[in-house]
Amino acid sequence: MMSLDALREDVCRANRRLPSEGLVSLTWGNVSARSDDGSLFAIKPSGVPYDDLSPGEVVVLDLEGAIVAGDLRPSTDTATHLELYRAFPRIGAVVHAHSTYGTAFAQARVPIDCLGTTHADHFAGPITVTRPLSPDEVGDGYEVHTGRVIVEHIQQAGLDPLHVPAVLVAGHAPFVWGTSASAAVDNAVALEASAHMALITRLLTGGDPPLLESWILAAHHERKHGESAYYGQEEA
Amino acid sequence: MMSLDALREDVCRANRRLPSEGLVSLTWGNVSARSDDGSLFAIKPSGVPYDDLSPGEVVVLDLEGAIVAGDLRPSTDTATHLELYRAFPRIGAVVHAHSTYGTAFAQARVPIDCLGTTHADHFAGPITVTRPLSPDEVGDGYEVHTGRVIVEHIQQAGLDPLHVPAVLVAGHAPFVWGTSASAAVDNAVALEASAHMALITRLLTGGDPPLLESWILAAHHERKHGESAYYGQEEA
Amino acid sequence: MMSLDALREDVCRANRRLPSEGLVSLTWGNVSARSDDGSLFAIKPSGVPYDDLSPGEVVVLDLEGAIVAGDLRPSTDTATHLELYRAFPRIGAVVHAHSTYGTAFAQARVPIDCLGTTHADHFAGPITVTRPLSPDEVGDGYEVHTGRVIVEHIQQAGLDPLHVPAVLVAGHAPFVWGTSASAAVDNAVALEASAHMALITRLLTGGDPPLLESWILAAHHERKHGESAYYGQEEA
Amino acid sequence: MMSLDALREDVCRANRRLPSEGLVSLTWGNVSARSDDGSLFAIKPSGVPYDDLSPGEVVVLDLEGAIVAGDLRPSTDTATHLELYRAFPRIGAVVHAHSTYGTAFAQARVPIDCLGTTHADHFAGPITVTRPLSPDEVGDGYEVHTGRVIVEHIQQAGLDPLHVPAVLVAGHAPFVWGTSASAAVDNAVALEASAHMALITRLLTGGDPPLLESWILAAHHERKHGESAYYGQEEA
């Protein structure tokens, strides 16, 4: 079982990957991850540059949002992460990043359709867009309502959150998740690449790109995530 | 209070961020910042590569444009910066950079509309385009008239210069400002990212992207800049 | 003659070029190369990050797909590489990479036409798109059938595989080859640059770009690859 | 006066800037520069990677194309450079690079119009496109005829080669020049940035971007290149 120190180190490392993978400028993103027993989660402190971030600055909270460890104020987006952990017990980590192409799809309120196997390896279908928050939701707890709009979107569409581990919040940016901090950042990288490729594919086809054949989508996703997955090395 | 040496170091560091943030090639940009009492400002010398720039080469001038410290010729754009400091006492620093996407909007004479929260975090509305300079203005003090056209644009539109801390000069490039050198460079990074995202959003929507809901724009800007701002850590 | 150790070192170096040339994120690509006598080939192990890859981890297989050297599981795409080596004895190395622009053309199912000499230096004609795999092909050995669809495509079109050393698999990504690992990676770099330039050329011409004149295409390709090639230095 | 050793060092440094300024992949470009007395020029050897290039490998030739110093074969494009030096005595250096955006304009056979001051600082008008080479020209000395087509283009249009120090060869790529190796590489950087910005400006304006006002174009160019230029520091 992962100790709290190991969890903070893991979350620190995952946050530092955001700029090195080209997903953020300035401090436009944050990663959190949950403890093995699911009762706590660790998140980036607000406004701290990634390069300066150390594991001891990572903030640990319980699922009521109370700070358990850490001296700094947690990310302003903490309440959004918290809503996702509460609603979906199998989510192990959450990434929020204003990555260029994913954010532009969120601004355009256009879903990222599954046009190829790069997308299918990480997302078993289109990455869809939530409704925008209402004035009341914005006025009364903006971040908590951002989380609730995401949860509502996934539940109303009857989606399995680990089947398509991301959503675009209208006018805002992507939220991405996974079973671990490292898997969630991988998914954020895949979302950004899929969005970039989807834009180009649209430009090449007059805005009407062909969807990936359903049987290829299913097979590609299964070879990485299915019961008989055969990508990568056996876990020790 | 910041000493003159500290001011020059601050301006040197901010200028060196221009290439590392991807905002300039060659020497296509410059940053200046004002002393705490508002009576002096420090600016990059003309044509010196960013990597070679040292604090002692930064030129200090008073608000009449007379050189107070420094052996090199100041940036050719100095007169433009000066006009901004004279007209708007609350501006603490100015950035001029021919960053790719922002400059293309200035060339197209198309405003960068607020299409998402990345934009709203830094600019509480669209970043608009000035009129072009007239032949007389160009012939008789090109740089001073560039500054006056910016000031005229902001005053005629009744804009608060710190509410939307940037403008696009028609056919030229962005001018961006802020309360400090570091905040002004952050705003220049945000302008470039917002312009890039706005272009993609336009391509995804046939040139007719939805504006960010007004209540989300206001709330996002307030959480970073309002009286009860709660982003980042408390200042010591 | 190249020893097995030298072959593994060569393949390791070629795989490490994939991220440094900007062709892949995460582990979205792999390079293999054939032994001088053509009976064996060496390939990247599955899911190992490029930066950590060492020659000893490279897996060596024979043309029946049996592992001859190496303790790790070979790339999931091994069966595709194998089909290419079996069908085309003159292919010395194979690169598969989900590079952004090439993959978008594969998703759009639009060939990369030869619009300029950058393309002609490496590919003596358009880079074309295979048919998609059928449900049966996907269900019964996805990777081996990917290879067979490529082979079928080249043979049915009557193409010389070294004349245009690449193909786009519909909805998937490019497969590229060459006489050596280093030449194959060079071709993958050229494919990605040609795809990027072709997209821009299409945008500049309303989607109807002029093809490169046939006599320029032939001459440019010949000066690098013909019998009287005069590019580069004489081989010792 | 610059010694031959200094010239070779200058040319080596300028060639190594091509990849660091993002103008080339692989070995898709070369820089040459002329001796002070105009009788010799130094150029990159063919096919040598930039990072490995040392001044002693740079090849020196006279204006008949005979090698004066250097053991390696000169760039395959040497004959093109030579034609430019012969026709235009004031050209001090030539850059050829398949940079992405400039090359795409050459492929589209669309001129890079002057849409802003970034362009005007380096080029006092549009960067235009030559006619393609005829089959005879390609068959009988491809590189020398590339140079002659450039010279013909400039002379027939009555252009001053230092007023607009670049041309796009149809279906091929840009050729750029200047008074020194470093100025020519600066111009190649400016061409690529201007092409990138021009593409975006076209996308933002439905393909019909406004030209920069003629009086701004003239003034901007003059402040860097005119008789009373005031950009940069005084030369010692």
Residue B108: the pLDDT is 98
Residue B236: the pLDDT is 41
Contact status of A107 with chain C (Cβ, < 8 Å): no
Contacts of C107 in chain A (CB under 8 A): 115-116, 197-198, 201, 209-210, 212
pLDDT tens-place string over residues B91-107: 999 999 999 999 999 99
Residue D236: the pLDDT is 41
Residue C222: the pLDDT is 79
Contact status of B173 with chain D (Cβ, < 8 Å): yes
Complex confidence, ipTM: 0.95
pTM: 0.96
pLDDT(A226) > 90: no
Residue D235: the pLDDT is 47
pLDDT(A32) > 50: yes
| Nearest CB to A204; choose among C28, C104, C172 | C104
Tell me the C-alpha distance between D78 and C94, whole Å.
33
Contact status of D131 with chain C (Cβ, < 8 Å): no
Comparing CA positions, the residue from A168, A193, A174 lying closest to residue A116 is A193
Residue D229: the pLDDT is 65
Residue B231: the pLDDT is 62
Instruction: Name the band, by pLDDT with cuts 50, 70 and 90, for residue C198.
Output: very high
Contacts of D52 (CB under 8 A, 6+ apart): none
Contact D200 B199 (CB under 8 A): yes
Contacts of B47 (CB under 8 A, 6+ apart): B27, D231, D232, D233
Residue pointed to by tokens 């939530």: A130
Contact status of C229 with chain D (Cβ, < 8 Å): no
Instruction: Name the band, by pLDDT with cuts 50, 70 and 90, for residue A37.
Output: very high
Instruction: Name the band, by pLDDT with cuts 50, 70 and 90, for residue C89.
Output: very high
Q: Beta partners for B174?
A: B168
Contact D233 B72 (CB under 8 A): yes
Secondary structure tally for chain C: helices H, strands E? 8, 7
Secondary structure tally for chain A: helices H, strands E? 8, 7
In chain C the beta strands, taken as DSSP E runs, fall at 29-34, 40-43, 59-62, 67-69, 93-97, 166-168, 174-178
**Angle, CA of A143, A147 and A153, to the nearest 5°:** 140
The more confidently predicted of residues B64 and C235 is B64
Contacts of D186 in chain B (CB under 8 A): 26
* Tokens (6 digits) for A2: 């992962």
Contacts of B229 (CB under 8 A, 6+ apart): B222, B223
For the segment A50-63, the average pLDDT, to the nearest whole number, is: 97
| Nearest CB to C118; choose among D73, D103, D109 | D103
* Tokens (6 digits) for D165: 């120090």
Residue B235: the pLDDT is 47
Calculate how close chain A gets to B76, using CA atoms only, in Å: 29
Give percent above pLDDT 70 in chain D.
Answer: 95
Sort B66 into a burial class: Cβ within 10 Å, 0-12 / 13-18 / 19+: exposed
Contact C232 D26 (CB under 8 A): no
Give percent above pLDDT 90 in chain A.
Answer: 90
Residue pointed to by tokens 């060596």: C60
Residue D207: the pLDDT is 93
To test the contact with chain D by mutation, choose from C18, C121, C201 the residue with the greatest count of D C-beta atoms within 10 A, namely C201
Chains contacting B with at least 3 CB pairs below 8 Å? A, D
pLDDT tens-place string over residues D108-165: 999 999 999 999 999 999 999 999 999 999 999 999 999 999 999 999 999 899 999 9
Contact B26 D189 (CB under 8 A): yes
For the segment C150-176, the average pLDDT, to the nearest whole number, is: 96
Cβ–Cβ pairs < 8 A, chains A and C: 90
Q: Which residues of chain B have pLDDT under 50?
A: 235-236
Q: Beta partners for B166?
A: B176
Which D positions 8-37 lie with beta carbon below 8 A of chain B?
21
For the segment A91-95, the average pLDDT, to the nearest whole number, is: 98
Contacts of D91 (CB under 8 A, 6+ apart): D34, D84, D85, D161, D162, D165, D177, D178, D179
| Nearest CB to A203; choose among B203, B216, B232 | B203
Judge whether C167 and C154 are in contact, CB under 8 Å: yes
Residue C228: the pLDDT is 65
Residue A1: the pLDDT is 65
Instruction: Name the band, by pLDDT with cuts 50, 70 and 90, for residue A166.
Output: very high
Residue A223: the pLDDT is 75
pLDDT tens-place string over residues C200-229: 999 999 999 999 999 999 998 777 776 666
Instruction: Name the band, by pLDDT with cuts 50, 70 and 90, for residue A221.
Output: confident
pLDDT tens-place string over residues D28-57: 999 999 999 999 999 999 989 999 999 999
Residue B212: the pLDDT is 98
Active site residues of B: 121, 231
Residue B2: the pLDDT is 79
Residue B228: the pLDDT is 65
The more confidently predicted of residues B165 and C234 is B165
Chains contacting C with at least 3 CB pairs below 8 Å? A, D
Residue B220: the pLDDT is 82
Instruction: Name the band, by pLDDT with cuts 50, 70 and 90, for residue D222.
Output: confident
